[in-house]
Amino acid sequence: MRRSSGTAPGRGRSRTANRSSSHAQFKEADGTAANTYNTLVQKIFGPMKTFERWDEPKPSSADAERQGERSPDKNDKNASKGQGKDDDQWSVNCEDFNYELTVEDSDGRQNKKVKPLILNEGENLEINGKKFKLCNAMIGSYGLVEIIEEESKMPFFLHYETMLNAKKKKLKVGCQVHILAAAANRTHITRLIQRGTDTSLHVRYFVTDAYGPTLSDLQSKRAYQKFTVGTATRLSIESLNAIEDLHAIGYVHRDIRPTSFIIGRGAFESQIYLINFGCVRKFRTKDGKIIPARSYAPFVSSVRYASRACHDRLECARKDDLESWIFMSVEFYHINILSWRSMSNLAEIRREKEAFMTERGCSLFGVESQSLLAEASRSHL
């Protein structure tokens, strides 16, 4: 991946325009759309690969020469240290997560850092010899942007992290989620297509299928931001199935909210996919043993949908993903159903959530919330 020559920084076409043009590629009959889509993907990226683990991706010799990358010196301890190992090679500071993520300072205050700009919206990148246009600016040391292949107008998601000042293994973990989901035939997580590094931009990246819109985008376009009961119920069940797919491969999401789910396109338009794996955490070892919980865990989630355990700075488990799912799902029935929606004080929000999760509190919010609680309690998660 590299910045394509001859492209001036600046804003390109709007995100809406890009979505519209790319969406048109999938207006085919369901019987042929999936095969046509896969054929186009292989035309752009070559034959699909099966990834077994996420090792340090190495640029091709041509990329290395073009980007001025030197081969590690055998006598250079810093260059050879940890090569080929899963240590500190892959990491990113959670405070730089490129979404609406609330993080906690050492003094307990909520804070969001100013994120550095890597590339502007509308600039071009070159991956595998093909040109892609950025639909969003690449901002922050970790994030996800939509890219459009210029010839076919096909959309993809580019997940990236900078190779500078990184502390946590976020891109590696996110990629591992895609690899394990594919190996286990979990259908609610997008497919990993390509991975690599760009030394000129100082980023590592991987590419996945891109769908959309998010459930948040979908709801914002509805009258009164409210789905029908049937649609709200289907979205709730499908999003729960997506969470189950993640739990089945040994990870908890820790940031469940409407923007973490996207709708498929074309032949996949009835499918919901779980995205945003910047905060995922493994809860189970390879041999199936539960990893002991930490005595303290920082607040890493969106305030509105965070579980009570997250407010209490406790380790988040599968039940906490389900609690966040309940808070998210009840809003499908009515956008203002959560009493703490406009609150900012964490202590007050915590009390409101406690009241909501009681039987008496649940009854105040109608039959929808009661049915969602029952659905969650029946889940084996």
Tell whether pTM > 0.85.
no
Could you report the per-residue pLDDT of 183-192, keeping only the tens digit for each? 999 999 999 9
Answer yes or no: is pLDDT of 375 > 50: yes
Where do the domains of the chain lie? Answer: 2-209, 215-378
Could you report the per-residue pLDDT of 59-87, keeping only the tens digit for each? 444 444 444 443 334 344 333 333 333 33
Q: How confident is the model at residue 257 (pLDDT cuts 50, 70, 90)?
A: very high
Q: How confident is the model at residue 16 (pLDDT cuts 50, 70, 90)?
A: very low
Give the count of alpha carbons within 13 A of 124, CB side only: 12
> What confidence score (pLDDT) does residue 261 get?
96
Q: How confident is the model at residue 168 (pLDDT cuts 50, 70, 90)?
A: low
For residue 139 the two structure tokens come to 């901002």
Give the architecture (CATH level 2) of 215-378.
Answer: Orthogonal Bundle (1.10)
CA–CA separation, 164 vs 280, rounded Å? 21
Q: How confident is the model at residue 266 (pLDDT cuts 50, 70, 90)?
A: confident
Q: Which residues, including other chains, have CB under 8 Å from residue 319's CB and lie 6 or more apart?
A: 307, 309, 381
Query: Lowest-pLDDT range, 71-85, 172-186, 219-233, 271-285?
Result: 71-85
Q: How confident is the model at residue 379 (pLDDT cuts 50, 70, 90)?
A: low
> What confidence score (pLDDT) does residue 33 get?
62
> What confidence score (pLDDT) does residue 10 get?
45
Cα-based torsion angle of the residue sequence 380, 329, 322, 339 in order, rounded to the nearest 10 degrees = -140
**CATH code for the part of the protein at 2-209:** 3.30.200.20
CA–CA separation, 108 vs 110, rounded Å? 7
In the chain, alpha helices (H): 15-23, 30-45, 61-66, 77-80, 170-183, 215-220, 229-248, 308-311, 318-333, 346-356, 359-363, 367-378
